[in-house]
């Protein structure tokens, strides 16, 4: 198989991809920002021209949800403009583009889990920029996989689990939002899904992947504290008690029925996946 270009290779998902790639017999190239500047169309074009690639996986994203409210240009540059350019360049070379998106393209008003063709209605700049990126990818390269995921955690980078472990070690009591519902998901499981789709092949389109089951942030915090055997008490609070610059969807649960039916990928329970992450971090 030809080498696969990965953008955002030092992030949570990019790191997981690099760790898992040998198991799938895949050669990944994850250039740093000094080699690939996603804010520069000529840099993207030069990177695509530099080797005979087999496909591109775009993990790069502006993910600072609250900061995006005051930096919309930066968010749209990385989350909307860059994916469209990648899609144009991959289409010109006959390459499949695998692009990672988010639950935040939805407004959270649906009662049940969102399916792929539910109407999008992002609540903030981050979600709007990611939704614009999805549209750009679809329009520019028909041979695309858009993989929406949610609540990503891993032993790497910055994420909710690592924050709870730090705070749980420092404080006797934590106050955590209990009226936002979603699907905690391991970056390792997302990476495995992307590599499975890449190596097996299958129909282009938009898919959801999250670990099975759902939780609130408070549920997840309690799971982290219990698994790490900390003594901190986790108090449930309302979103209104923890105001943030960006509004979050109250329900960002995603249905994975389509990816199960199409690719035979069955997500494991979030407790198993997140438990593995916690065990790695506590062991270290």
Residues involved in catalysis: 126
| Angle between helix 187-200 and helix 270-283 axes, rounded to 10 deg | 120
Place of tokens 């449930």: 236
Backbone angles phi, psi at 177, to 5 degrees: -60, 135
Does residue 151 come out as left (phi exceeding 0), alpha (psi in the -120 to 50 range) or beta? left
Question: What is the chain's length?
Answer: 284
- Among residues 197, 83, 87, the alpha carbon closest in space to that of 141 is found at 87
- Among residues 248, 184, 172, the alpha carbon closest in space to that of 217 is found at 184
Cβ neighbours for 11, distance < 8 A, ≥ 6 positions apart:
59, 60, 61, 156, 157
Q: Distance of CA 64 to CAs 19, 24, 138, 190, Å?
A: 24, 31, 24, 20
């Amino acid at each position: 198989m030809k080498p696969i270009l990965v953008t955002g290779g030092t992030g949570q998902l990019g790191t997981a991809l690099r760790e898992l790639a040998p198991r799938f017999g895949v050669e990944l190239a994850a250039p740093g920002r000094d080699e690939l500047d996603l804010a520069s169309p000529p840099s993207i074009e030069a990177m695509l021209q530099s080797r005979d690639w087999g496909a591109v996986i775009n993990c790069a994203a502006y993910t600072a949800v609250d900061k995006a409210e005051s930096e919309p240009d930066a968010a749209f540059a990385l989350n909307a403009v860059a994916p469209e350019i990648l899609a144009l360049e991959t289409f010109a070379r006959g390459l499949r583009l695998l692009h990672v998106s988010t639950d935040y393209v939805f407004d959270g008003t649906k009662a049940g889990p969102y399916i792929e063709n539910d109407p999008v209605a992002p609540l903030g700049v981050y979600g709007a920029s990611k939704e614009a990126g999805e549209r750009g990818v679809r329009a520019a390269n028909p041979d695309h996989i858009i993989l929406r995921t949610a609540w990503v955690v891993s032993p790497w980078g910055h994420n909710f689990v690592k924050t709870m472990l730090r705070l749980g070690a420092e404080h006797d009591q934590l106050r955590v939002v209990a009226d936002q519902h979603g699907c905690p998901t391991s970056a390792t499981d997302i990476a495995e899904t992307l590599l499975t789709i890449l190596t097996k092949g299958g129909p282009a389109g938009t898919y959801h992947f999250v670990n099975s089951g759902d939780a609130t942030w408070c549920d997840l915090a309690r799971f982290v504290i219990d698994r790490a055997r900390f003594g901190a008490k986790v108090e449930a609070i309302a979103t209104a008690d923890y105001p943030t610059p960006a509004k979050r969807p109250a329900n960002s649960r995603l249905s994975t029925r389509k990816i199960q039916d199409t690719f035979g990928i069955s997500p494991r329970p979030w407790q198993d996946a997140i438990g593995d992450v916690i065990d790695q971090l506590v062991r270290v």
